[in-house]
Amino acid sequence: MSTTNTTPAAQAAMHIADRALDILFSDITGRVFQIINEDKKLNREYLRAVEAHDLNTINQTIGKHIKRRFGLGNAGRDNKPKGNHILSYEKYNLP
């Protein structure tokens, strides 16, 4: 975060936004799977993909796609996901 020539209010706002984004992206994979789990249409599509292919392949591909889509780096594992479709997932951080 660049704070050169910014007001104290802007610095405070950017700090808050940066912290919120760090939290969001550290848990983005868990949140994506939670959305898939809670959305009936996405959940049906997910279950069809798993049935047609392989659970691990589908889950790993979703996780890798999230990482690539947002240009994220690895930040450890979360072994307590919110959704029912995964047992653990890689946490990410912004570069």
pLDDT digits (tens, 9 = 90+) for 2-57: 556 789 999 999 999 999 988 888 888 888 999 999 999 999 999 999 999 999 99
Residue 29: which residues within 8 A CB-CB, separation 6 or more? 62, 63, 66, 78, 89, 90, 91, 92
Higher-pLDDT residue of 87 and 38 is 38
Whole-model pTM over 0.95: no
Higher-pLDDT residue of 33 and 78 is 33
CB 53 within 8 A of CB 4: no
User: Quick one: average pLDDT of 66-89?
Assistant: 74
Task: Kindly indicate the confidence band of residue 77, based on its pLDDT and cuts at 50, 70 and 90.
Answer: confident
Sign of CA dihedral 69, 74, 75, 76: positive
